[in-house]
Amino acid sequence: MTTAGEEMYALVERLYPLCRSITGDGVRATLDIVGEYVPLQTHEVPTGTQVLDWTVPQEWNIRGAHIADSAGRRVVDFAASSLHVLGYSVPVSATLPLSELRAHLHTLPDHPAWVPYRTSYYKPEWGFCLAQETLDAMPDGEYEVRIDSTLADGHLTYAEHVVPGQVPDEVIVSSHVCHPSLANDNLAGIAVAVFLARALAERTPYYTYRFIFAPGTIGAITWLARNAARVERVKHGLVLACAGDPGRLTYKQSRRGDAEIDRVLRHVLAASERPHHITEFTPYGYDERQFCSPGFDLGVGSLSRTPYSGYPEYHTSADNLDFVSPEAMADTLSVCREAFAVLDRNRHYVNLSPYGEPQLGRRGLYDALGGRSDTKQAQLAMLWVLNLSDGEHALLDVAERSGLPFDTVAAAADALHGAGLIKA
């Protein structure tokens, strides 16, 4: 039997070699594979389309690239890793001395064995990323450089998968799909999103859950520009990124800081007794930057393990298949499921019998034998729900004020609702 963790890891392995960017066939190939797991609606947005303050750029595709020494030996080859080419490199075919080539080479002197990840989306440029060790071993002399890329009018590609709910109000789950061969950032996020979608579909959730697989920044901006009317319906959201590394979970709160999604994640992480971090919103990181821009100010938080830029392997070749694990992804998935289970049931009820306690005993909801000091949690939960169901408090408030598990509180609400004592 294969666990969800192993299945997610297998998906990451399949996606890893592809060269993704903010546009191009690597994104399409990625979405094709994701589409084998959950049905996707794919959108192609033409180059030049105005999206909020931005314009959809030309589409970039690459077939190969290398640096060869004077003996014709390829010292850097895109075929070995998609990281070797500066993202969005313009085509080049030239021979030039190392002294001139250096301006186009990117290395990490502090981690001489690692290849960095670099891009130049909006300024025409070409370049190679390579290990400092490789560069150190390159003798002076002439090198042939060749980048077989095209930058031309085309499309920006993104996809959506929707799990229909009982109400049209939406929860969005967003994962960026623009990073090339980096496992944690963000193939693990994509994989957790995919398996979260499948889990939510097991029974009809309350909310409609919309999964967005789009390139970072420009993709989120494109989605927002094309969904101005839908944004009204987006009640909550979560950005998933860096979901598979060995670090503890980190929830970065929405700009509001007290959005329901913030309260849910704080509650679930605390109740789970996992080591974790809760951080304040910052306007830097992943696509929460766009969802939480002041004009939208959506209740969208971000769940990661080690967050953005917080680990040395970040944006380097060391963010590889060894850096992520089935266990870590399974853990992230588990918290997402717990959080959405709470979010989905977190109703505001109104007590229909608010003057004094209603007599629970004659409705079969309360022990007949009085005097005992060990009142059952289920009964306490009913008293709490009745007391706080004034329209101001949701069930999560009841759980937090009472110290009772959310599940117990939600079950009490179900019982009271069944007895006609509260209404949603």
CB of 200 to a second copy, least distance (A): 27
Can you tell me whether residue 248 is helix, strand or coil? Answer: coil
**Binding to a second copy by residue 380, rule CB under 8 A?**
yes
**Binding to a second copy by residue 54, rule CB under 8 A?**
yes
**Binding to a second copy by residue 399, rule CB under 8 A?**
no
- Burial per residue of 154-180, b for 16 or more beta-carbon CB atoms within 10 angstroms, e otherwise: bbbbbbbbbbebeeeebbbbbbbbbbb
**Which are the contacts of 62, defined by CB distance < 8 A and separation ≥ 6?**
19, 24, 78, 85, 89, 147, 148, 149, 150
CB of 2 to a second copy, least distance (A): 34
**Binding to a second copy by residue 389, rule CB under 8 A?**
yes
CB of 283 to a second copy, least distance (A): 4
Judge residue 68's burial from the number of C-beta atoms within 10 Å of its C-beta, 0-12 exposed, 13-18 middle, 19 or more buried.
middle
Strand pairing category for 142-152 and 92-97:
antiparallel
**Binding to a second copy by residue 309, rule CB under 8 A?**
yes
**Binding to a second copy by residue 225, rule CB under 8 A?**
yes
Q: Which of 72, 109, 275, 295 binds a second copy (CB under 8 A)?
A: 295
**Binding to a second copy by residue 283, rule CB under 8 A?**
yes
Judge residue 140's burial from the number of C-beta atoms within 10 Å of its C-beta, 0-12 exposed, 13-18 middle, 19 or more buried.
exposed
Q: Which of 85, 333, 386, 395 binds a second copy (CB under 8 A)?
A: 386
**Which are the contacts of 258, defined by CB distance < 8 A and separation ≥ 6?**
none
Q: Helix 4-15 to helix 189-200 angle, to the nearest 10 degrees?
A: 130
Would you tell me how many other CB atoms lie within 10 Å of the CB of residue 102? 12
Q: Which of 143, 314, 323, 340 binds a second copy (CB under 8 A)?
A: 314
**Binding to a second copy by residue 397, rule CB under 8 A?**
no
Would you tell me how many other CB atoms lie within 10 Å of the CB of residue 43? 16
Q: Which is nearer to a second copy, 29 or 52 (CB)?
A: 52
Q: Helix 4-15 to helix 25-34 angle, to the nearest 10 degrees?
A: 160
Q: Which is nearer to a second copy, 275 or 295 (CB)?
A: 295
Site for a second copy in 227-266 (CB under 8 A): 255
**Which are the contacts of 390, defined by CB distance < 8 A and separation ≥ 6?**
350, 351, 354
Site for a second copy in 201-220 (CB under 8 A): 217, 220
Asked whether 131 and 115 are in contact (CB, 8 A), the reply is yes
Q: Which of 117, 128, 209, 323 binds a second copy (CB under 8 A)?
A: 117
**Binding to a second copy by residue 405, rule CB under 8 A?**
no
**Binding to a second copy by residue 296, rule CB under 8 A?**
yes
Q: Which of 2, 280, 322, 424 binds a second copy (CB under 8 A)?
A: 280
Q: Which of 1, 50, 123, 424 binds a second copy (CB under 8 A)?
A: 123
Strand pairing category for 74-77 and 105-106:
unpaired
- Site of interaction with a second copy (CB under 8 A): 52-54, 87, 116-123, 125, 217, 220-221, 224-225, 255, 280, 282-284, 289-290, 292-297, 309, 314-315, 351, 353-359, 361-362, 368-373, 375, 380, 383-384, 386-390, 401-402
